[in-house]
Amino acid sequence: MERLRELLELLRKKGIAAGNFLGLLHVLIGRRVTLDDGSVISAGVTWRELAGLLKRVRWDPEAVREIGLDPADLPVRDRQRYWYTAIAQAGVDRPEAVARGNQLAAAMHGLGYVVTPAPGAGRGTK
Protein backbone atom coordinates (compact mmCIF):
# COMPACT_ATOMS: atom_id res chain seq x y z
CA MET A 1 0.00 0.00 0.00
CA GLU A 2 3.00 2.25 0.59
CA ARG A 3 3.96 2.17 -3.09
CA LEU A 4 0.43 3.10 -4.05
CA ARG A 5 0.54 6.04 -1.65
CA GLU A 6 3.81 7.14 -3.26
CA LEU A 7 2.17 6.88 -6.69
CA LEU A 8 -0.74 9.07 -5.59
CA GLU A 9 1.63 11.67 -4.22
CA LEU A 10 3.64 11.64 -7.47
CA LEU A 11 0.49 12.02 -9.58
CA ARG A 12 -0.58 14.96 -7.43
CA LYS A 13 2.87 16.58 -7.50
CA LYS A 14 3.17 16.26 -11.29
CA GLY A 15 -0.45 17.36 -11.82
CA ILE A 16 -1.18 14.19 -13.81
CA ALA A 17 -4.47 13.44 -12.06
CA ALA A 18 -5.67 17.06 -11.96
CA GLY A 19 -8.99 17.27 -13.76
CA ASN A 20 -9.25 13.49 -14.09
CA PHE A 21 -10.49 12.25 -10.73
CA LEU A 22 -12.87 9.77 -12.38
CA GLY A 23 -10.01 8.24 -14.36
CA LEU A 24 -7.91 8.02 -11.20
CA LEU A 25 -10.65 6.15 -9.35
CA HIS A 26 -11.19 3.81 -12.29
CA VAL A 27 -7.49 2.95 -12.62
CA LEU A 28 -6.85 2.42 -8.93
CA ILE A 29 -9.92 0.25 -8.39
CA GLY A 30 -10.06 -1.83 -11.55
CA ARG A 31 -6.63 -2.06 -13.11
CA ARG A 32 -3.22 -3.48 -12.39
CA VAL A 33 -0.43 -0.91 -12.08
CA THR A 34 3.22 -1.90 -12.37
CA LEU A 35 6.54 -0.23 -12.94
CA ASP A 36 8.27 -0.69 -16.31
CA ASP A 37 10.40 -3.43 -14.72
CA GLY A 38 7.27 -5.40 -13.76
CA SER A 39 7.25 -4.51 -10.05
CA VAL A 40 3.64 -4.52 -8.91
CA ILE A 41 2.32 -1.28 -7.45
CA SER A 42 -1.31 -2.36 -7.26
CA ALA A 43 -3.53 -5.16 -8.50
CA GLY A 44 -6.59 -3.02 -7.85
CA VAL A 45 -7.99 -1.91 -4.53
CA THR A 46 -11.37 -2.02 -2.86
CA TRP A 47 -13.45 1.11 -2.46
CA ARG A 48 -12.74 1.02 1.27
CA GLU A 49 -8.98 0.74 0.76
CA LEU A 50 -9.01 3.59 -1.74
CA ALA A 51 -11.10 5.77 0.57
CA GLY A 52 -8.58 5.21 3.34
CA LEU A 53 -5.70 5.96 1.01
CA LEU A 54 -7.24 9.21 -0.23
CA LYS A 55 -7.75 10.18 3.39
CA ARG A 56 -4.14 9.37 4.32
CA VAL A 57 -2.62 11.34 1.44
CA ARG A 58 -5.04 14.20 2.13
CA TRP A 59 -6.38 14.30 -1.42
CA ASP A 60 -8.16 17.58 -2.16
CA PRO A 61 -11.82 17.07 -1.18
CA GLU A 62 -12.82 19.52 -3.92
CA ALA A 63 -11.87 16.85 -6.49
CA VAL A 64 -15.36 15.37 -6.09
CA ARG A 65 -16.71 18.34 -8.04
CA GLU A 66 -15.14 16.76 -11.14
CA ILE A 67 -17.56 13.84 -10.83
CA GLY A 68 -20.57 16.08 -10.29
CA LEU A 69 -20.72 15.95 -6.49
CA ASP A 70 -20.92 18.81 -4.04
CA PRO A 71 -18.50 18.36 -1.12
CA ALA A 72 -21.12 19.83 1.23
CA ASP A 73 -23.41 16.86 0.43
CA LEU A 74 -20.82 14.34 1.66
CA PRO A 75 -19.96 13.41 5.27
CA VAL A 76 -17.34 16.10 5.97
CA ARG A 77 -16.49 15.04 9.53
CA ASP A 78 -15.44 11.52 8.55
CA ARG A 79 -13.00 11.67 5.61
CA GLN A 80 -13.01 7.92 5.03
CA ARG A 81 -16.81 7.93 4.68
CA TYR A 82 -16.50 11.09 2.55
CA TRP A 83 -14.27 9.36 0.02
CA TYR A 84 -16.17 6.07 0.15
CA THR A 85 -19.44 7.85 -0.56
CA ALA A 86 -17.85 9.78 -3.43
CA ILE A 87 -16.43 6.59 -4.94
CA ALA A 88 -19.80 4.85 -4.62
CA GLN A 89 -21.47 7.66 -6.55
CA ALA A 90 -18.73 8.14 -9.16
CA GLY A 91 -19.74 5.33 -11.53
CA VAL A 92 -16.24 3.93 -11.93
CA ASP A 93 -17.49 1.23 -14.30
CA ARG A 94 -19.16 3.58 -16.80
CA PRO A 95 -17.72 3.93 -20.33
CA GLU A 96 -16.71 7.51 -19.50
CA ALA A 97 -14.65 6.24 -16.56
CA VAL A 98 -12.94 3.69 -18.80
CA ALA A 99 -12.06 6.43 -21.31
CA ARG A 100 -10.78 8.73 -18.57
CA GLY A 101 -8.80 5.82 -17.11
CA ASN A 102 -7.20 5.25 -20.51
CA GLN A 103 -6.15 8.91 -20.60
CA LEU A 104 -4.61 8.65 -17.15
CA ALA A 105 -2.88 5.36 -18.04
CA ALA A 106 -1.24 7.02 -21.05
CA ALA A 107 -0.01 9.90 -18.90
CA MET A 108 1.29 7.48 -16.25
CA HIS A 109 3.24 5.58 -18.91
CA GLY A 110 5.39 8.68 -19.34
CA LEU A 111 6.32 8.39 -15.65
CA GLY A 112 7.45 4.77 -15.96
CA TYR A 113 4.20 3.04 -14.96
CA VAL A 114 2.31 0.40 -16.90
CA VAL A 115 -1.46 0.22 -16.45
CA THR A 116 -3.36 -2.79 -17.77
CA PRO A 117 -6.42 -2.29 -19.99
CA ALA A 118 -9.83 -1.99 -18.37
CA PRO A 119 -11.49 -5.23 -17.31
CA GLY A 120 -13.36 -6.65 -20.29
CA ALA A 121 -11.55 -4.41 -22.77
CA GLY A 122 -10.84 -6.15 -26.02
CA ARG A 123 -13.35 -8.93 -25.47
CA GLY A 124 -15.94 -9.36 -28.14
CA THR A 125 -19.58 -9.97 -27.37
CA LYS A 126 -21.12 -13.30 -28.28
pLDDT tens-digit series, residues 33-46:
999 999 999 999 99
Q: What is the rounded CA–CA span in Å between residue 97 and residue 34? A: 20
Give the pTM: 0.91
Q: Please enumerate, as own/partner, the contacts of 63-69 that have beta carbons within 8 Å and a separation of 24 or more.
A: 63/21, 64/21, 66/19, 66/20, 66/21, 66/22, 67/21, 67/22, 67/25, 67/91
Residue 122 lies in a domain: no
Domains identified in the chain, total number: 1
Residue 104 lies in a domain: yes
CB 113 within 8 A of CB 33: yes
Residue 123 lies in a domain: no
Q: What is the rounded CA–CA span in Å between residue 16 and residue 108? A: 8
Give the tens place of pLDDT for each residue, 53-84: 999 999 999 999 999 999 999 998 999 999 99
Give the tens place of pLDDT for each residue, 105-115: 999 999 999 99
Residue 124 lies in a domain: no
User: Which domain does 20 fall in, by range?
Assistant: 2-115
